[in-house]
Copies of this chain bind each other. A is one copy, B any other.
Amino acid sequence: MDIHSFTVYDMLKKNCRLFENATALVSGDVRITFGELLRGVQSLSGSLSIQGVNKGDRIAILAQNNHNFFLLLGAAAAMGAIIVPVNWRLSIDEIQYILQDSAPSTIFFDENFKNVISQLRAKCDSLKKYFVFGQSEDDYISFTELMGNYPAKEAEIKGNDPYIIIYTAAIQGQPRGAILSQDNVIFCNIQVASMMGLSSNDTYLNFLPFFHVAGIVIPFSVMHLGGRNVIMAKFDPKAVAGKIEKERVTIITTFPPVLRQIMAEISKGTYDLSSLKYAFGFLESSDTIADFEKKTGCQFWVGYGQTETTGVTCLGLKSEKPGSAGKQGTLVNIKIVDEYGRDLETGEKGEILVRSPIVFHGYWRQEELTRWTFRDGWHHTGDMGYLDNEGYLWYVGRKAEKELIKPGGENVYPVEVEKVILEHPGVNEVTVIGVPDPKFGEGIKAVCVLRPNVRLSEQELIDFVAARIARYKKPGYVSFVDSLPKKEDGSIDREKVKALYGHN
């Protein structure tokens, strides 16, 4: 192993040494110590290896939350396999797309999803082994048969090898698999711990699904410091309040509908929630948070993040600046740019860019999209926001759906063509749009406003672009106009440009 490495598997070994007999996981009546967790992980890595799982293989999981998820994450960390947690709320077509795209060799699933698997297996060539959380049946092997006392399978791992693929926001109608590495997870853990002050005395209650990054990142941080994770199969407000009381939970993560439902339950006043130190949430309303803090006495952390940044980019106590998304993490570079990548000043709205050890490792099998997303050495989040004069981030919303033109199946982003055209000294403004094209299906059109007294032919402009970027990105069509339609804030109204000039 690289002498500078510290993997998720190393974290589990550390915890076994430091907290062997302390509880790591609670799931219903099952209680698993850090010693049992490590030994389970080691044995599972060994039996998965016997089942033919190799380094780099994908292991899909289609299941509600259960403690075996942590065993699989640990075994994958040891042997260098890649976990693909699948959102079971998706339609069967969407699940099929994810399985075909990630091409797992192995899948773990709840008994409930047997029908889904039976329908999909013929269409997913990569699948060779099927493990069910339940009874064995035909070639569906029970998970319990994998558990035993096998010698660990430990592979040579690099910190930036793929570790988890989480499918996230759809582009062009298909979700993309964001690749997280073990380094991403480890550095995010330690960043969160350094900001929230986590310790081995913390207990986290898992009710958010493990197939979202928000369901993984804080639990992992708590585990890294030696704290406990209490697992619920899925969200149920009554059970949540009961678990907080019973297990003396110190931290939860919430999302808007969840927090209000918990509030409604605890308003009945029959729970002792005094153990709760922190709640953590995105996109909650300030009033709901204030109510919750008052009722429970806990402190509310807010933040900004996305799957592509291992879940946490900014973090802060809500009380510091209500409405903001906190401050950049202790390992995070952040900046705000306009659509041409130019740095914006404090207070100006633009796209949020991130550079950090917690930035993901690209989209699975989408090299071009990854290069585009990582252009200029920064991760382009596609989210809009601004920084105030104390460094707090204010989240504004998603960037208008990423424009894409597809001439002859190539991907061309209008903004990269616009950037080149604006380098021409004669051009004052430009908008590039897709238009129907008899040859390529879609063609590239530049709608330009020239500076006063400039004379420029269409062909001269096309040649100027062709000399500077890939030839297939040059406009096939050029219109010179007197002015471009604007929005109230002064920016160009791209939709109106399309409506006015969207013909070839």
Contacts and interface: CB of A to CB of B under 8 A. Distances in A.
A186 interface: yes
Contact of A377 (B1, B6, B10, B194): B1
A4 B193 CA distance: 19
A13 B330 CA distance: 11
A225 interface: yes
A160 B4 contact: yes
Interface string A359-379: 100000000000000100111
A1 B225 contact: no
A218 interface: no
Contacts of A330: 14, 190, 193, 224-225
A86 to B, nearest CB: 27
Contact of A374 (B3, B332, B355, B391): B3
A6 B333 contact: yes
Closest 7 interchain pairs by CB? Answer: A18-B391, A193-B194, A17-B391, A194-B194, A6-B331, A1-B377, A197-B197
Interface in A306-345: 327-328, 330-333
Nearest to A7: B333
B190 A3 contact: no
A331 B332 CA distance: 18
Nearest to A10: B333
A2 B170 CA distance: 26
A191 interface: yes
A404 B148 CA distance: 47
A5 interface: yes
Nearest to A375: B3
A328 B6 CA distance: 12
A367 to B, nearest CB: 15
Contacts of A194: 190, 193-194, 198, 225
Given A4-B160, A194-B198, 14 more contacts: A1-B355, A4-B183, A4-B357, A6-B355, A14-B330, A14-B332, A14-B333, A17-B328, A19-B391, A186-B331, A194-B194, A194-B225, A197-B197, A224-B330
A453 B212 CA distance: 66
A352 to B, nearest CB: 14
Contacts of A14: 328, 330, 332-333, 391
A17 B393 CA distance: 11
A179 to B, nearest CB: 13
Contacts of A214: none
A356 interface: yes
A62 to B, nearest CB: 31
Contacts of A488: none
A387 interface: yes
B3 A328 contact: no
Contacts of A374: 3
Interface in A198-212: 198
A390 interface: yes
Contacts of A356: 4, 6
Contacts of A187: 187, 190
A194 B378 CA distance: 26
Residue among A1, A4, A14, A377 with most chain B CB within 10 A: A4
Interface string A169-204: 000000000000001001100110110011000000
A194 B387 CA distance: 26
Interface in A389-427: 390-391
